[in-house]
A and B are shown apart, each in its own frame.
Chain A
Amino acid sequence: MIAYLFIFLGLVFIFFGTLGIIRFPDIYTRLQTSSKCDTAGAVALLVGLMVREGLNSFSLRILIILIFLLLTNPVATHAIARSAAIRGIKPWRKKKNVKGG
């Protein structure tokens, strides 16, 4: 039951992360939702699968994949953001509204 709760949580994170990828207006905001989707969704889903599997060598390999994803996803995100910032991509600003919003 706890395993299915974690799996459901991971699927919810993944769905809203992908929705943010489609809807957000800028590279940096898209990168933020992509990072949440990668780390939080993957960690929740893999922890759920580990809890369902039990304590054996099978779940140990899942733990290795989990630690690898947890180490490398922020590094990849930071590399993409750094390269976009060096090439001079400006962050998105809200346009000045006529009605003063």
Chain B
Amino acid sequence: MTVVTIIITVLGVTASLALYRVIFGPTSWDRLIAVNLISSKVIMIMVAAAVFFKRRIYLDVALVYAIIGFVSIIAISKFLEGEGTNKK
């Protein structure tokens, strides 16, 4: 009980600290970096909950969440690379 409490508390507190960079980030890429970090932390919270609470379904949810996060990060970074101009 105590170990899973410590893990989830540390991950949640650091994710909410990274939320500062999402809100006040100077450029769009800072926000993208912080969103990537929060997504990775949510995956780790899911795996820790699956191990300590013996729920097998959380691992599948974590894997699908990892795939969707990766595809969205690649898509948003390719979108910010162009941004309406005809530059190469």
Chain A contact residues, CB within 8 Å of chain B = 4, 7, 11, 14-15, 17-18, 21-22, 27, 30-31, 34, 37-38, 41-42, 45-46, 49, 52-53, 58, 61-62, 64-65, 68-69, 72-73, 75-77, 79-80, 82-84, 86-87, 89
Within 8 A of A (CB), among B50-88: 51, 56, 59-60, 62-63, 66-67, 70, 73-74, 77-78, 80-81, 83, 87
CB-CB under 8 A from A72, the residues of chain B are 66, 70
- The answer to whether B40 and A73 touch across the interface, beta carbons within 8 angstroms, is yes
Interface residue range, chain B:
35 or more
Chain B contact residues, CB within 8 Å of chain A = 3, 6-7, 10-11, 14, 17-18, 20-21, 27, 29-30, 32-34, 36-37, 40-41, 43-44, 47-48, 51, 56, 59-60, 62-63, 66-67, 70, 73-74, 77-78, 80-81, 83, 87
